[in-house]
Amino acid sequence: MPALAGTSWPRQLAPYTRPHVPRSILDVLTSAVPYVAVSVAIYRLRDVSLLAVLPLMVLAAGFLLRTYILFHDCGHGSFLPNKAANRWLGRLLALMVFTPFHAWRHAHAVHHATAGDLERRGVGDVPTWTVAEYNAAGRGKRAAYWLFRFPLVMFLLGPIWSMIVGPRIWRRSQRPRVRNSIILTNIGLVLIVGGFCALIGWQNYLFVVGPPALIAGATGVFLFYVQHQFEEVYWENSESWTYEEAALRGSSYLRLPNVLRFFTGNIGFHHVHHLSARIPNYKLPQAHAAMPVFESVPILSVWDGVKCARLKLFDEESKRLVTFREARAARARHRPDAQRALIS
């Protein structure tokens, strides 16, 4: 892969970091607005035809996921030209995606600053152990990690935690702005959800909002997972880690069909996003085409992404993600009795 050190990539990408307000408005009109409209249609048809409602739930999930991408762009300050406008729109969208804006923005900024750094894992990323850490852990800890990385847990229970439960929790040790963001969002959600439950009943509210939120959440967790969890992913110790290499080698280019690119807000161009988070979602494809260095980034198809779910641990010796089976084989090779057997 061509090196970026000493190049003028910030200058080359600068034209793509300027939001185009009419296009940003169009994004809102093709995400948050149709999500609300489809949700109303689900409520109207709930007693008419389940067959008509099911595809609408999938459609609502797509628009909700697209809304989350706009929320994400506001968190980076890339969606609108004005900082205050990004904050206020982000706070509004936060109530639609059940996520406190300032708390999420802080955690996600840490993720961007530390992705691929073995010594700064744990904030805004998918918890990942090395093979050595896994083999050195006790049986209980290994079992807990295995359970966490089990696909049904990660992609079914994971969205419930990441969207509904986790964002509701605050700690006294957090910065006041982060803690207040969580508390105020929780209050806002109590008022909004309580109002809808009083208006249409809690069963109807869960029927309309629940399935699309779970589908969108599971898809979002999958997207985030495969963008940093593939076999040749970049992980380095802090002294060897570089921001540019982490962006180009530690973030995948998830090549999606056009319809999925629309609903995922081009987030498959994740390598571009990590190199310059100030590029709005609708300019990521143009930026990708503008720099030859992007031609050699890791490319994944949807099926490649599905297969990545079997990768669980980072092997520092081979510099790649491996399966539990490969880790157990490495553990067996390093046992003293196995070594003695090989010598004899």
Encode the chain (344 residues) as per-residue pLDDT tens digits. 555 555 678 888 999 999 999 999 999 999 999 999 999 999 999 988 888 899 999 999 999 999 999 999 999 999 999 999 999 999 999 999 999 999 999 999 999 999 999 999 878 788 899 999 998 899 999 999 999 999 889 888 888 888 889 899 998 888 899 999 999 999 999 999 999 999 999 999 999 999 999 999 999 999 999 999 999 999 999 999 999 999 999 999 999 999 999 999 999 999 999 999 999 999 999 999 988 889 889 999 999 999 999 999 999 988 999 999 888 876 676 665 444 443 44
pLDDT at 333: 67
- Residue 4: its pLDDT value, please? 57
Q: What is the pLDDT of residue 341?
A: 42
Distances (CA, A) of 266 to 21, 59, 162, 284: 18, 17, 21, 7
| Residue ranges with strand state E in the chain | 129-130, 253-254, 299-300, 313-315, 320-322
Q: What is residue 288's predicted lDDT score, i.e. its pLDDT? A: 94
Q: Which amino acid is at 121?
A: R
pLDDT of residue 2: 52
pLDDT on residue 6: 52
Structure tokens at 326: 């490969």
The DSSP element (H or E) to which 226 belongs, if any, is helix 202-226
Q: For the chain, give the longest Cα–Cα distance.
A: 77
* Residues 100, 87 contacting (CB under 8 angstroms): no
Global pTM reads: 0.91
Phi, psi (rounded to 5 degrees) for 123: -120, 115
Q: What is the pLDDT of residue 343?
A: 44
Contact of 233 with 321, CB cutoff 8 Å: yes
